Amino acid sequence: MSCAHIEKDTARFIAEDIMREFNYPVLFKECSVDLSVFYNPGRRQYDANRILKQVSELSSPNSVKIMGLFSVDLFIPILTYIFGQAILNGNTGIASLYRLRNELYGLEQDTALLIERFRKVIIHELGHTFGLIHCPNPICIMRSSTYVEDIDQKKIHFCHHCQTELNGRRKEEENH
């Protein structure tokens, strides 16, 4: 589900990425959620924990995983910001475009790069929902990223180890 006003082409790219990496059909749905209730005026950011909970409540029995896409600045109480968040071994994740924009760091706007970063964050968070933890491989999609440069460094694929782990986890989930 998206509240980020994502263009059709971008949505198609994201769906293709998810299909390729997880081999599940993707349903893309535009939603309008009132985010003002999650706004923290002190931090001038949005509470990711509460948004995650809200998204989780929107999941339907037919969906395997649900991913909320936003364009607002997300935070969790202990961190100054986050790119995205997911419940490990859960069925929900969220990701935001906000901190991925070049302009935020005084650089020139780069839409292609922004979309690529966003796709990586989405796949990364979905990986967590399948039980994958952070990977030490510097180019694996599951590598922890605290800066956008870290995201740029990694590829949009799982490394061999994470792929094997993911296949195992998927089998487990399907058996359940």
Partner 1 sequence: MDKKVSILIVDDEESVRDSLYNWFIDDGYIVECAENAKKALSILEKKDFDIILADIKMPGMDGMEMHRRIKTLNKEPIFIIMTAFASVDTAVQALKDGAYDYITKPFDPDDLSHLIRNAAAQVSLKVENENLRNKITSLTDIEDLIGESDAMMKVLKEVESVAQSNSSVIITGESGTGKELIARAIHSNSSRKYFPLISVHCGALTESLLESELFGHEKGAFTGATFNRKGRFEMADGGTIFLDEIATISSKMQIELLRVLESKTFVRVGGNKEVSSDFRVICATNRDLKTMVKSGTFREDLYYRLNVVNIVIPPLRERVEDIPLLANHFIKKYCTSMSRNLIFIEPSAMKQLEEFEFPGNVRELENMIERAIVIGNGKDIRLKDLPMGKEVINSSIESLDDLESKHIAMILNKYSWNISRTAKALNVDRATLYNKIKKYKLIQE
The catalytic residues are 125
Separation of alpha carbons 157 and 23, rounded Å: 13
CB of 85 to partner 1, least distance (A): 7
Q: How long is the chain?
A: 176
Considering only the stretches 10-18, 22-30, 105-113, 140-148, report the one whose residues sit in contact with partner 1 under the rule CB under 8 A. Answer: 140-148
Is residue 128 at the binding interface for partner 1, with CB under 8 A as the rule?
yes
Considering only the stretches 6-14, 26-34, 78-86, 100-108, report the one whose residues sit in contact with partner 1 under the rule CB under 8 A. Answer: 78-86
Separation of alpha carbons 120 and 114, rounded Å: 10
Residue whose CB is less far from partner 1, 12 or 43: 43
60, 27 contact by CB (below 8 A): no
Written as six digits, the tokens of 33 are: 């959620």
Is residue 82 at the binding interface for partner 1, with CB under 8 A as the rule?
yes
Provide the greatest CA pair distance for the chain: 49
Separation of alpha carbons 12 and 55, rounded Å: 21
Residue whose CB is less far from partner 1, 41 or 77: 77
Residue whose CB is less far from partner 1, 144 or 153: 144
Pairing between β-strand 92-96 and β-strand 79-82 as defined by DSSP bridges: unpaired
Where do contacts with partner 1 occur on this chain (CB under 8 A)? 43, 49, 75-82, 85, 87-88, 128, 133-134, 144, 146-147
